[in-house]
Structures are given as C-alpha cells and as structure tokens.
Amino acid sequence: MTVRIATRGSVLARWQAERVAALLQLRRPGLDVELVTVETTGDRRTDLPVALIGGQGVFVKEVQAAVLDGRADLAVHSAKDLPSLPTEGLHIGAFPERADPRDALAGGRLADLPSRATVMTGSVRRRAQLAAVRPDLRFADVRGNVPTRLGKLPPGGVLVVAAAALDRLGLADRATELLAPDVVLPQVGQGALAVECRADDGALRDLLAGIDDPDVRAAVEAERAFLARLGGGCDLPVGALAGVGPDGEVTVDAVVASLDGTTVLRGRRSGPRSSRHQLGTALADELGGAAVAAGLEPASRW
C-alpha cells in the first residue's frame, strides 16, 4: 500500500510530513509513503504580511486541494495554519504528539531589550501581547522560512518564532528566551500537527486514528472552538492554549487584545474532556463580549 502525503515544500513542512510518515509506518510496517510537494499562496507571496493575502488558510488551501482532487491521500499541516471551521470533504484524522506550543525569542531576552529595540514579527497576536508588556518596543514585519527570518535579526533586537519550529529544525539553541503563556499566549494549535484525509476514505481514517493523541486532540479542539466562535484568524490579536490534566480535565486559556496592546483581555475555563468544545465557545463569548464593551471590535464581529 502506498500513501501519498501532500505537504508544502519548506524544510519544516517536509520534516512534519516525514514525521507523520514515520508514525504511520510504525503502525503499518511495510507501508510505502510518497511526498507530494505543493506550493501555496503563502509561500508565493512573501512580500506581504499574511493578513493581507488572506490570513488563516493561505498555507493550507492548495495542500487540501491536492487531497480533494486525488493527487494525494493525506495532507499534513501545522495545526495553527488550519482555518477554524472544517473544510467540506475533508476529515482531520489525527493530531499526533504536540511540540512545545510557546513562542520563543531569538537574539535576546525581553527584559534586556533597550528602549525602542526592534522586534521582528508579522503576527498581530505577538505584537499586541508584547506591546502590552513593553510599549516602548518597535515592531517590524518579517516573512520567509525560519532560517531566512533568523538571518534578518536586527542589531540589538529580536525575532519572535514558534519554539516548535526551532526544535524541529534542530535550531533550539537559537532560542534566547521561551515566552511564558502568561506573557504571550500562543496561536491556536501552535506546536501541533494536523493530518487530513478525504472524509469518505474509511481505510485512511482508521489508519490515522492509530496515530491520534487523544489529549492533543482535546486541547486543540478546545482552542479551535474558541477561534471558530470568534470568527477570527491571523488578522485578530487572539490566542489560546489548552491542556489536559492527569484527571482528564481540560483547561483553556485565551486572550483577545487591541492591535496596539493597550487593552488585553484574558480568560480561563476548565471542564471535562467531553465539554472541550463548549469550553472554547463559552470563553469566546466571554472575551468577545468584553471586547465589544471595551470598543475593540464592532459587535457584528462577535
């Protein structure tokens, strides 16, 4: 049996696809795997911030299309890149193990940065939360793969990047600080992988179930429910991180902020695993309502 896996062409994306391939081969010895490389809008348009070229989904739509039209059997994504609503015809069959979901700084530590130091990031979520802590900092957009971004470190400044990306590329030593979630909450799904197959492919759904991590699924689904309820993506300063305790209880932390970081609204909900979607939705209602009251977004947004 041969399984074709659609993936973006970056070193990180291929690492992720190869990791999923290895997990599948552990479950099904003798399984042949072929990678199908797909270029996405996000890969082509490195001259513009993600929010200006479509926001969430610009790194996945073409990869999903390869599965839907039969060029591939599976698609492997960074879970943070997936739109919060399901794609018709596709099924997320596995959320395998999750790497460190936190954001990292490369080039220095937050407390040590001089006034008006430059922070390189294209994420409004990261900007808003860092500006809330250090309003004296300056921010600059940066795009490209992780090695490219590391090569653009400004003198006396820092780059913000997902810790998981550094770990997976063997560049963990480039992290000069891991940002605690109470300083910067990560993007929904950060550090997790998501594997999609066609919804009607029962054989692959069964195969993917064998590499699904129930705790990772519970956490990521709670985070995605939060984002889906808000209706936001990369264009909103929002973040969420969920975890599963030893008793099976799911705890979700979330944030909604103003673009300049002058207002930061945080919340937390906990409950049984079976209520994970409701936890995310309730937290979105709470913070969305607070955001409207604070004048951050028009009521129609929420």
CA distance linking residue 38 with residue 75, whole number of Å: 10
Please give the structure tokens belonging to residue 104: 């990292």
CA distance linking residue 29 with residue 259, whole number of Å: 50
Chain-centroid distance, C-alpha 302: 21
Consecutive H or E run containing 224: helix 214-230
Catalytic residue positions, numbered:
81
Phi, psi of 226 (to 5 degrees): -60, -50
> Could you say which DSSP state residue 193 is in?
E
Distances (CA, A) of 7 to 21, 128, 210, 292, 296: 11, 31, 20, 39, 37
CA distance linking residue 142 with residue 119, whole number of Å: 10
Sheet holding 74-78, edge to edge: 32-37, 2-7, 74-78, 193-198, 90-94
195: closest CA among 64, 58, 77?
77
Sheet holding 103-106, edge to edge: 138-140, 118-120, 158-162, 103-106, 177-178
Chain-centroid distance, C-alpha 87: 17
Helix (H, G, I), strand (E, B) or coil at 26: helix
